[in-house]
Amino acid sequence: MNKSDFPIFTNNPELVYLDNAASAQKPIQVIDAMDSFMKNHYANVHRGTYYLSEMATIAYEHARHHVAEFLSVRDKDVIFVRGATEAINLVAQTFGRTLKAGDEILLSEAEHHSNLVPWQILAAEKGVIVKFISVFESGKLDMEDLKAKLSEKTKLVSVTQMSNVLGVENPIHEIVQLAHDAGAKVLIDGCQGVVHSKINLSDEKIDFYAFSGHKIYGPTGIGVLYAPSEFMNTLPPWQGGGDMVKSVHFSGPTYADSPARFEAGTPAIVQAVGLEAALDYVHSVGFNKIEAVESQTMHLLKDGLQMLGGVEVLGDLNLKKNLVCFNVKGAHPQDVAMILSEQNVAVRVGHHCAQPITEKYGVNSSIRVSLGMYNTGEDITAFITALKKAQKILRSAK
């Protein structure tokens, strides 16, 4: 693992990239894999009998196998989607359509809009009830509130593995156990979690798990929904089109088994190849090293913010794993971010597509610093220096 593996930093040597929770940069191995596939092996998959199509099909299905190994699940339980947003919408429009008025869905207060709006749409259409598990001021999930709200009416508990605003990991194993004891299924939004720590889905017994390729150093336009095929085969398809059917007649279609049932149309073939290369890269580095490097960098970030002063952090700084949302006292976050940008420091500003939780903390917007495996102590020093300069500039402007 080295910054030199990521061409963006070679081509922009002054860049301090701290927006990894939004999207991570890509190693040359991913770029080369996609480039080579398009130059040498590209064709549509599954239906062609000629050599290129056969090779493309092998590459696409090998990518599925690689994802399955990465998650410790079976190939047939891996559905390729455009991203975690589509994965969650897929569950809402398949499993969700089997629910009836009065059934309940539990979400945490800290969910990304992608794990909130699909359920609100479903609630408006079918009369299901969406309830929210409280989050403490520290950022921790209130597990007693979860226990109190679970009932025989609860059909799904859908929560993030790690909040993209609070940076706090949720106790997934305990959540799954409690939900299953109540007869509910569990969906985990793994976007922020899968990047930083190894997860073994065969151990966790999660019903649905979603993540996006572009956050784990792969391309945009590809994501994964893990869902056991035996259960998915009982659900109605979401989209109609090529390859999600066994046959079609004037009298109607016969649907294919999952995952094909939920991959209508030409899939993201090149992106799947890129995702495989990204997971290969992560595996070659190893999660032990990734966690060690990121932990050290996060420690420097926390110390820097505490020593600097004049910042208001959302939640307990000590609980945060890979990101911090904060505001500078007396300054608009957009103004701070613009001054940071002038010093080649890239951070995210806004409600981070999680408006309800930011409003709970009494703010409309915040600055987010989020770390990746390639961030260094020098990056943190540059960020703290730039932030100190921003504070000085904004104080003098008053």
Just list the catalytic residues.
353
Four-point Cα dihedral 167, 218, 115, 153, nearest 10: -100
Four-point Cα dihedral 317, 196, 136, 354, nearest 10: 100
For residue 319, what are the contacts with CB-CB under 8 A and spacing of at least 6? 138, 139, 140, 166, 167, 168
Specify the pairing of strand 208-212 against strand 185-189: parallel
DSSP secondary structure of 109-135: TT--GGGTHHHHHHHHHH--EEEEE-B
Q: Give the whole-angstrom CA distance, residue 398 versus residue 77.
A: 58
Nearest to 16 by CA among 393, 388, 341: 341
Q: Give the whole-angstrom CA distance, residue 269 versus residue 285.
A: 25
Q: Cβ(168)–Cβ(197) under 8 Å?
A: no
For residue 369, what are the contacts with CB-CB under 8 A and spacing of at least 6? 18, 301, 323, 324, 326, 347, 383
Residue 396: enclosing H or E segment and its boundaries? helix 377-396
Extract the tokens encoding 294: 């990121």
Burial per residue of 82-120, b for 16 or more beta-carbon CB atoms within 10 angstroms, e otherwise: bbbbbbbbbbbbbbbeebeeebbbbbbbbbbebbbbbbe
Q: Cβ(117)–Cβ(173) under 8 Å?
A: no
User: Measured between alpha carbons, how far is residue 192 from residues 60, 177, 355 in Å?
Assistant: 25, 21, 17
Nearest to 62 by CA among 275, 291, 237, 333: 275
Hey, what amino acid is at 253? P
For residue 142, what are the contacts with CB-CB under 8 A and spacing of at least 6? 133, 134, 135, 136
Q: Cβ(177)–Cβ(185) under 8 Å?
A: no
